[in-house]
Amino acid sequence: PPVLETRDLGRRYESRGETVDALKGIDFRIERGEFVSIIGPSGSGKSTFLNMLGLLDEPTSGEVLLNGEDVSHLTDREQTTVRKRTIGFVFQQFYLIGTLTAQENVEVPRLFDDDPQTAERAADLLGRVGLANRRTHLPSELSGGQKQRVAIARSLINNPGVVLADEPTGNLDRKTGETILEEFTRVTEEGVAVIAVTHDEKVNDYVDRTVEIVDGELA
């Protein structure tokens, strides 16, 4: 089965007496090793879709399947477990913890796991993103591109099947952004699926496929 799939996925917001159908029956699938970008105008439903894919918010209709299993109807607690095991997150703002070293930031998702192999895996991941010699640096001592590579390493610490990236190059200059896109390409070559929501047209040069959302529907 695809690593991630949605079937007839819908999300309705009701607030201030207004109803907004932010997603209207989206059928989407992504296989291991695929790099897919999601584009679309502001307010078209991209953030909402990413939140559904990341099990961060409940759909009002339809299903989200991870490795063929419908996870949209699991309890919050079960979803947290599934999310941790199968989904990595990368954000525009990096969200590194300023008082922790690069190595410690990569270990954060496993903080409560008490696994003696975590440190070795984090160090290995930092090496793979070209930061072997930056392990003990604090975020304030790293460039934007280096910070985002730490975030990519962190997103991979639990060996996820898919990484969700929200404007991953949005805070980087063009050239640095390209090195990050190359990094994601390497991640997909190792069999991980990557989904990037982005306005960055450069991303099109790197992805296997682009999906456009317009007014809550796939265009």
Judged by CB under 6 A, does residue 45 bind ligand ADP? yes
Judged by CB under 6 A, does residue 47 bind ligand ADP? yes
Q: Which is nearer to ligand ADP, 22 or 162 (CB)?
A: 22
Judged by CB under 6 A, the residue of 46, 147, 149, 154 near ligand ADP is 46
Judged by CB under 6 A, does residue 185 bind ligand ADP? no
Residue that the structure tokens 């090195």 belong to: 179
Judged by CB under 6 A, does residue 24 bind ligand ADP? no
**CA–CA gap between residue 165 and residue 170 (Å, rounded):** 11
Give the CA distances from residue 84 to residues 9, 47, 87, in Å, rounded to whole numbers and listed in that order.
22, 20, 6
Q: Which is nearer to ligand ADP, 8 or 120 (CB)?
A: 8
Q: Which two tokens stand for residue 125?
A: 């991941």
Would you say how long the chain is, in residues? 219
Judged by CB under 6 A, does residue 15 bind ligand ADP? yes
Q: Which is nearer to ligand ADP, 124 or 217 (CB)?
A: 217
**CA–CA gap between residue 70 and residue 5 (Å, rounded):** 9
Q: Cβ 178 to ligand ADP, closest distance in Å? A: 21
Find all residues with CB under 8 Å of 165, minimum gap 6, and list them. Answer: 89, 90, 91, 184, 194, 195, 196, 197, 198
**CA–CA gap between residue 107 and residue 122 (Å, rounded):** 6
Site for ligand ADP in 86-145 (CB under 6 A): none
List residues near ligand ADP by CB under 6 A: 13, 15, 20, 22, 40, 42-48
